[in-house]
Structure 1
């Protein structure tokens, strides 16, 4: 059976050229990256400059108090994981959260949910190690947008409007930054500034102007962030009680010493060979290997049933059914077995093995599963998965890294089945003519995460909500352990080991689910990248949400209506509980790559949300 061919129509062309390419979730970040390339910077310089711009122009999706993960490659390094995920603070113990704070879960908003902010330190580390530009050149773009302003995107306004009651009643420092004197949110397109964050960046630059080398100047800025005024302001803020998502006031546990102890850097990726390609992801301290498990299960399903490609086709009801069932099995294993390998034994080799994949693939039947079914790698029984079946945060939207909303009961995380974008994460990809490639997914520290730290102009993140207050969990809250982040960019190399493409998307638990169909269309169906990104997307909600309050929807399937009524009807007959949020509502993929035969560079970006763009020549 032939793989479905794409429609002739695409929303925009796949950009192709030989100089350099960039793609991201915001046009100003893409333009920044391309500007750096045009001025002689490499892909690392471009990505770092764009990353700091994303702090300013997508503050509802990421911030300096957040985190990031990604992958990069240079001729000297090969493919490496870029690790900017901060760990749990030293005082973040299960006993403190349970016995002192009286919590059963890590809150979804407020400083108790904050891991060590890793994004800024990681960006600076990457620039020092593999960039070529001076720090002041790289930060100039973000400083200008924070000082002189930029037109605020409608999605930012929507988020501020939804959270404004909380700002007015409890998070008054956030109200001072994001609301006007009458307590109103800005209008879409209005020029907004963040002078406090601009001053932070200027003070980082002032930390080392007389240092002897480019790297020394960057290291001076890192020291100012980790041990100087930024770390001290964060500690003072965290110590001040404020409203959390349980409707009570708590103080956080983050200390300046936690920032000083954090070390970003790079790691070996976890890889899986698929159809002659090598797919690279983060380790199991993130959800990255879940995509590799999905591919392994799908390949095993084909072997078991003597199939070629038809079970990999995300345009047919049969293909969607098999893909979704494989996703459920891999996500159940993620929830049961993933964690920081420095603290727990993750049976990753077994989880990615052919024999284990075949055992998992044998569980895929003709009808949709409505169970949580983690496996038993190496005969180890999984910890029981616990989650509430309900209408809370079920992933019915494009944006799973959600924000709090004030109610009489406290702060709750709303569900919206309309597909309306409310905020989640960012993504960017950059490739240059010298062979450098970067793919990064920054997140956390959203304006809706916790109150703004006034002298810094940003807030702390909420990544600890992915940790369990259960000692038996692989992802239990442990001081110094990285919470199991959902940030999950992808790096694909060809049969010769040369970089072929990178891609990623916002979307929390959905990140790998939205990447998988695009990868299958590009690698198996030989689709044009932009057509693969434009094509209808889908994801299952039949798994535990990584985010507070950990709900799930048995047999839930969220799918764009463009798949067609006949496909939807067959999926319903197979037992999937279908929600159609709209025709263009799921995912914000972007990607860059290189065509092996010609060396031509390309880039593609998602049209959903009318915000992501690619650029290049």
Structure 2
């Protein structure tokens, strides 16, 4: 067994892993109180809205994977679509070439709240008040904020003080930044949830009735009214202009979360389940399908080269084929024949090209922006890209990688690299859940003063070119980077895992998964912590999902502790290597259950110094 930062936890009662210790412990408190994995996950999610507000919020989005004990794996889609008024013509008429990275124009229909309520109603056992009390307590009575919260607010302070003044009321109380170690409160958010619970309970007795009442209040009551009004108020966004959004009360009222079958792929006795191609989840599956029969030893330059080149091919296919469309050729993309042909493109040298394939003989089509950045051009004009350095999703070349403290990278205009949150839970009955809540972060939009949280900015991931699988289209979901995972062994759910990280999510997860299944067990079980701790990497050799959607051809970033031999080996193969901080790549969470023994296990990422696993 290799050295790890922490032990892989093992027990029999319940296990939780999330990106914040307060969320993990709140979920564990629900399990201790008799709740199941789904009750616990909902409680954790609402705590994450409070303690990681720079990474997610109630008006954001979430894909949720569930594996009920003895039941099939399902996806709950908490990704809202583009509003009815969000046409390409409307955005281009404003002189835009890309959807802004912040502000009302970037807001999709909020999806996270309804997805969590659906999970609680259909699979949980607790009342609404039981799971919301933890978030209400931390918002109202206060919690010690993370360093990342303070750093994010500091970056957008001028924006808040001069333009988004309602945000300043919450995040700069008395003109002061949040201070780690001192209690920080969001009383408006606490009042929102207290009012929601009180109004839902007036619907009468019955857990399901009250949860459905809460969903109605969100869609048609005081929350919907406040969100619709906020979207209609012009606000400064990354285009440099003050724009109103397209989201309306009707858009909110007419949408609800849905159940879907997962995308899945079988590999070496394992089956990995992911959300469908409206997410980037199948990128993970394509990377597995592209692996050669024999891999080089884990952690060698040849091993990293093989995985990075497979990532580039899968991400190129994401750009050409993924979206909320009925004709995504997923079966062809995962087929043995298609991947045999794609695998032959992986040579001894690093590719610097964007090379989508032709599944089923179809011709790939890319956005003009993607073609331009793949050529090495930086598109200008139409307000689509800002002129100043440091705007939008930071490139590694311009900004370096996140440091050892794992702070999210945020520009002064609020545009964000795309970090987020994650939570996994397994209970003593064998129920399992994996979820990646994101969006609606404090720097995405002005705070809605009546509610204490902002709208999201997920529409920035849709293209303004017509005719693409991911073209901005009213009623269609923008393709998201959010991608939780469930892994089955011989058809039985064994592990739930995931990570924050935008475009990096399905890169870090693949390495975690392979590091896990290719190494020996620890204490007779999966070495979750060892795989989480293993040195990781990512490539930026494809158009990013976040504004301004740049690409770094041939670029790969590695943690310095991967070793000089591996770094030089990658450079010898033609990779443009950036050496990041020692602990800077990957934010994995994971829980597992051994179906033969019933032993539960968990591990959590040490990199951001905030993720924790708990259990017994």
Question: How does the TM-score come out when normalised to structure 1?
Answer: 0.92
Cα distance in 2 for residues equivalent to 1:568 and 1:410 = 27
Alpha-carbon distance in structure 1 between the residues aligned to 2:90 and 2:534: 47
Q: Which residue of 2 aligns with 1:94?
A: 88
Structure 2 residue aligned with 1:179: 172
2:474 to 456, 475, 479: 479
Deviation of 1:406 (Å)? 11
- Name the structure 2 match of 1:559: 558
Q: State the shift of 1:525 in Å.
A: 2.5
**CA–CA separation in structure 2 for the residues paired with 1:200 and 1:408:** 38
CA contact (8 A) 1:246 1:411 kept: no
In structure 2, relative to structure 1, the CA distance for the partners of 1:281 and 1:185 (3 Å cut) is same
In the other structure, the counterpart of 1:419 is 402
Q: Report the Cα distance in structure 1 between the residues aligned to 2:315 and 2:430, rounded to whole angstroms.
A: 34
Q: 1:367 aligns with which of 346, 349, 358?
A: 349
- 1:521 has 2:515 as partner: yes
The residue correspondences of 1:343-422 to structure 2 (distance < 5 A) are 344-385=326-367, 386-387=369-370, 389=373, 412-415=392-395, 416-420=399-403, 421-422=407-408
The residue number in structure 1 matching 2:323 is 339
1:490 aligns with 2:485: yes
1:257 aligns with 2:250: yes
Structure 2 residue aligned with 1:601:
600
> In structure 2, what is the equivalent of residue 322 of structure 1?
306
Are 1:285 and 2:278 an aligned pair? Answer: yes
In the superposition, relative to structure 1, how do residues 76 and 256 fare at CA in structure 2: closer, same or farther (>3 Å)? farther
> What displacement does 1:418 show?
3.7
What corresponds to 1:155 in structure 2? Answer: 148
Query: 2:200 and 2:176 mapped to 1: Cα distance?
Result: 39
Distance, in Å, in 2 between the alignment partners of 1:89 and 1:500 is: 38
Asked whether the 8 Å contact 1:427–1:505 carries over to 2, the reply is yes
Q: How many angstroms apart in 1 are the aligned matches of 2:359 and 2:543?
A: 20
Which of 456, 461, 465 lines up with 1:461 in the alignment? 456
Equivalence map 1:205-220=2 (5 Å): 205-210=197-202, 211-220=204-213
2:183: which partner in 1?
191
* Structure 1 residue matching 2:136: 3-state secondary structure: helix
User: 2-side partners of 1:201 and 1:523: how far apart?
Assistant: 42
Match of 1:45 among 30, 39, 42: 39
- Residues 409 and 175 of structure 1: CA distance in aligned 2, closer, same or farther (over 3 Å): farther
Question: Residue 429 of structure 1: SS of its match in structure 2?
Answer: strand
Aligned length: 585
TM-score by length of structure 2 reads 0.92
| Aligned-residue offset at 1:203 | 1.4
Superposed displacement of residue 419, structure 1:
1.8
| Corresponding residue to 2:437 among 442, 445, 452 | 442
3-state secondary structure, aligned to 2:510: helix
Structure 2 residue 309 is matched with structure 1 residue 309? no
- Residues 233 and 74 of structure 1: CA distance in aligned 2, closer, same or farther (over 3 Å): same
Contact 2:200 / 2:213 at 8 angstroms: preserved in 1? yes
Confirm whether residue 66 of structure 1 aligns to residue 60 of structure 2.
yes
Q: In the TM superposition, what is the alpha-carbon distance from 1:309 to its structure 2 partner? A: 3.5
Q: Could you tell me how far apart the structure 2 residues matched to 1:131 and 1:418 are?
A: 39
Measured at CA, do residues 522 and 190 of structure 1 come closer, stay the same or move farther in structure 2, by a change above 3 Å?
same
The CA deviation string for residues 538-575 of structure 1, in whole angstroms up to 9 with x for no partner, is 01110110111111001000110111101100100000
Q: 2:496 aligns with which of 502, 515, 521?
A: 502
Residue 535 of structure 1 pairs with residue 537 of structure 2:
no
1:81 maps to 75
In the TM superposition, residue 265 of structure 1 has moved relative to its aligned partner by: 2.6
Distance 1:240 1:523, change over 3 A: same
Shift of 1:319: 0.5
- Partner Cα separation in structure 1 for residue 266 and residue 401 of structure 2: 37
Mapped to 2, the partners of 1:86 and 1:219 lie a distance apart of 18
- The 2-side partners of 1:167 and 1:136 are apart by 33
Structure 1 moving runs of 4+ over 6 Å: 405-410
CA displacement at 1:314 relative to structure 2: 3.9
Unpaired stretches in structure 2, ≥5 consecutive residues: 379-384, 410-418, 522-526
Does the 8 Å contact 1:126/1:265 carry over to 2?
no
CA displacement at 1:75 relative to structure 2: 2.7
Q: CA deviation at 1:380?
A: 1.1
Spell out, residue by residue over 1:64-83, the C-alpha distance to the aligned partner (whole angstroms, 9 max, x if none). Answer: 11000120111353211121
Q: Per-residue displacement from partner, 1:153-181 (whole Å, max 9, x unpaired)?
A: 10110000011011111111111111132
CA distance in 2, matches of 1:581, 1:251: 39
Report Cα offsets for 1:372-391 as digits up to 9, x if no partner: 0000111111113533549x
Distance (whole Å) between structure 1 residues aligned to residue 450 and residue 97 of structure 2:
32
Q: Deviations over 1:291-339 (max 9, x none)?
A: 00000011xx33xxxxx332xx441100100000000000000110001
> Separation in 2 of the partners of 1:92 and 1:234?
16
C-alpha contact (below 8 Å) 2:393/2:546 kept by paired residues:
no
Q: 8 Å contact 1:314–1:517 — kept in the other structure?
A: no
SS at structure 1 position matched to 2:90: helix
SS at match of 1:580: strand
> Does the 8 Å contact 1:595/1:601 carry over to 2?
yes
Of the three residues 126, 134, 141, the one matched with 1:133 is 126
The residue aligned with 2:568 is 569
Deviation at 1:410, TM superposition (A): 11
Tell me the equivalent position of 1:401: none
Match of 1:549 in 2: 548
Question: How far apart, CA to CA, are the structure 1 residues paired with 2:393 and 2:158?
Answer: 14
